[in-house]
Amino acid sequence: MDINLITIFILAVFVGNEIINKVPPTLHTPLMSGSNAISGIAIVGALLAISTDGAISTYLGLAALICATINVVGGFLVTDRMLKMFKKK
């Protein structure tokens, strides 16, 4: 078990939580498309965590992969819905 990986994971959870909670509700939908890029980076990091040795990093990487994938799919759905509101009927 590598203490550096656990430290990076805990810091990433803390920083991500602080950033998301600071976004006002009026900006949440437009920023969702930007957060998809960040979640894409999180997916790459999760895949790297899964590929390391150790059961804990594999399970945490799998959990991060699932959460980031849900965030990306949800972000695209919300952005698509928002863009449909501006199309002429």
CA separation (Å) from 18 to 14, 51, 58?
A: 6, 28, 25
Total structural domains within the chain: 1
Say how far apart CA 76 and CA 33 lie, in whole Å: 7
- Asked whether residue 49 is domain-assigned, the answer is yes
pTM to 2 decimal places = 0.59
pLDDT band at 71 (very low <50, low <70, confident <90, very high): confident
- Asked whether residue 21 is domain-assigned, the answer is no
What does the mean pLDDT of the chain come to? 82
The amino acid that residue 67 corresponds to is: C
- Asked whether residue 16 is domain-assigned, the answer is no
Q: What is the pLDDT of residue 66?
A: 93
- Asked whether residue 5 is domain-assigned, the answer is no
Ranking 7-11, 63-67, 70-74, 83-87 by mean pLDDT, the lowest is 83-87
- Asked whether residue 77 is domain-assigned, the answer is yes
Q: What is the pLDDT of residue 28?
A: 65
Q: The domain containing residue 65 runs over which residues?
A: 33-89
H or E stretch at 22: none
- Asked whether residue 89 is domain-assigned, the answer is yes
- Asked whether residue 39 is domain-assigned, the answer is yes
Ranking 41-45, 52-56, 80-84 by mean pLDDT, the lowest is 80-84
